Amino acid sequence: MMNPFDTAPCRLALLCLPLALLGCGLTRPPAVASAPIPAQWNAPLPTATVDATRPTDPAALPHAGSLPSLAGWWRQLDDPVLSTLIDAAQAASPTVASASARIAEARATRVQSGAALLPTLDGTLSAQRSNSPLGGTGSGNGTGGASTSLPAVTTLQAGLQSSWEIDLFGGRRATRDAADARLQSANAKWHDARVSVAAETANQYFAERACQRQLTVAESDARSRGETARLTDLSAKAGFTAPADAALARASAADASARLTQQGAQCAVLRKGLVAMSGLDALELDRQLATVPADRTLPPVHAVASVPAQMLAQRPDVFAAEVAVAAASADVGAAEADRYPRLTLQGSVAALQLRSGGVHQSLQTWTIGPLALTLP
């Protein structure tokens, strides 16, 4: 009797059944709550000399109207030493290096989760040679028969096995979406670490520059008080000034000398901090700092009167927190999909060849199935 299911249309329908079931996924992609954020900054940055109600020339803005240039905002200060220190600090920072490693880890996880949506393919290849002896039979007079053996048999086998877990309820897609969100979070945290290192280095650099200017003032004050003490002492010896005034002048000079020593020690601490942050040699740092005067004039500061609250979403830490919520939502979707059965389709292709006594026999087989349903 002919099997009614052993027909080409029926076999084709069975093969298309898993694809049709893909449209029955119960887990929808998690919705990410987002506020309406402007695509770019389109408001003028007013300054103290410009009316806030009138548009400002983009060329006068710190970023010249170009948002990508804000990635290296410290270069707008036109200080080559500061740029060199920040670049060196970012290259030597373990925080930035750790953030880079987390990006690589998140990228590998993303590739792995994406590969779970595709079929897996395994291959096997084997070769075997065997020889089976055939023993003789004994005769009635007690003598044994001659021992013979079968021809050697060589077996060659190759095969491919494939398995595909059909993402019936969207669990694999949710896992991939979670990996995507974590990759975005890792990138945002790298930017956050980079900006933090740049800000800390800039603060340390300007603190050292300000300390050098204060040290210059302290040196002038110490010289002035020392000269005053010397002249007052000469006047006291000549009888024109009271000895008490000369003593006060010497005390004032000693106080200025102590303040100078204290200020110099503070500048040395700040400079050592720059050495530790940048990883540069102390002598090389001193050479670079000597090329830029401590009292150089900085570019004018642009005062921002107001910033829209939505612009906070451009902060790396805020964006990282947002995508972390999206990743957690996707994890919920993946866990929800684990409550439902899993559907797996398997298949294989194999080739077998036997060689024995000059005879060759080949066999090729292929299978599609079974279509396995695994309950949670």
d(CA 295, CA 342): 71
Residue scoring higher pLDDT (147 or 117): 117
Give the CA distances from residue 184 to residues 84, 107, 171, 174, 195, in Å, rounded to whole numbers and listed in that order: 28, 9, 20, 15, 17
How far, in Å, CA of 354 to CA of 357, rounded? 10
Q: What is the reported pLDDT for 271?
A: 92
Q: Helices 243-278 and 282-290, interaxial angle, to 10°?
A: 110
d(CA 287, CA 281): 10
Q: Which residue has the tokens 């650099």?
A: 205
Share of the chain above pLDDT 70, in %: 72
Residues 261-300: pLDDT tens digits?
Answer: 999 999 999 999 999 988 888 898 888 888 877 777 666 6
For the stretch 323-332, pLDDT in tens is 999 999 999 9
Q: Give residue 47's pLDDT band: very low, low, confident or very high (50, 70, 90).
A: very low
Per-residue burial over 288-315, b if 16 or more Cβ lie within 10 Å, else e, is bbeeeebeeeeeeebeeeeeeeeeeeee
d(CA 95, CA 92): 9
172 burial level (CB within 10 Å; 0-12, 13-18, 19+):
buried
| CA pair distance 374, 354, nearest whole angstrom | 37
Q: What is the 3-state secondary structure (H, E, C) of the chain?
A: CCCCCCCHHHHHHHHHHHHHHHHHCCCCCCCCCCCCCCCCCCCCCCCCCCCCCCCCCHHHCCCCCCHHHHHHHHHHHCCHHHHHHHHHHHHHCHHHHHHHHHHHHHHHHHHHHHHCCCCEEEEEEEEEEECCEECCCECCCCCECCCEECCCEEEEEEEEEEEEEECCCCHHHHHHHHHHHHHHHHHHHHHHHHHHHHHHHHHHHHHHHHHHHHHHHHHHHHHHHHHHHHHHHHHHHHCCCCHHHHHHHHHHHHHHHHHHHHHHHHHHHHHHHHHHHHCCCHHHHHHHHHCCCCCCCCCCCCCCCCCCHHHHHHCHHHHHHHHHHHHHHHHHHHHHHCCCCEEEEEEEEEEEEEEECCEEEEEEEEEEEEEEEECC
Average the pLDDT over 61-84 and give the result: 66
Q: Tell me what the mean pLDDT of segment 331-349 comes to.
A: 90
pLDDT at 307: 64
Instruction: Select the more confidently predicted residue: 301 or 163.
Output: 163
- Would you place residue 45 in the very low, low, confident or very high pLDDT band (cuts 50, 70, 90)? very low
Q: CA 20 to CA 357: how far, in whole Å?
A: 51
Task: Give the C-alpha separation, 42 to 44, whole Å.
Answer: 7
Residue 43: what pLDDT? 45
The length of the chain, given as a count of residues: 376
- Domains parsed from the chain with CATH numbers: 76-119+153-374 (1.20.1600.10)
Higher pLDDT, 39 or 347: 347
Between 40 and 106, where is the model more confident? 106
Q: Check residues 335 and 22 and name the one with the higher pLDDT.
A: 335
- Supply the pLDDT for residue 357: 74
> Average pLDDT of the chain?
78
More confident site: 95 or 65: 95
What's the token pair of residue 62?
């710190």
pLDDT band at 18; cut points 50, 70, 90: low
Q: What is the mean pLDDT of residues 31-60?
A: 45
Higher pLDDT, 238 or 20: 238
Q: Does pLDDT of 143 surpass 80?
A: no
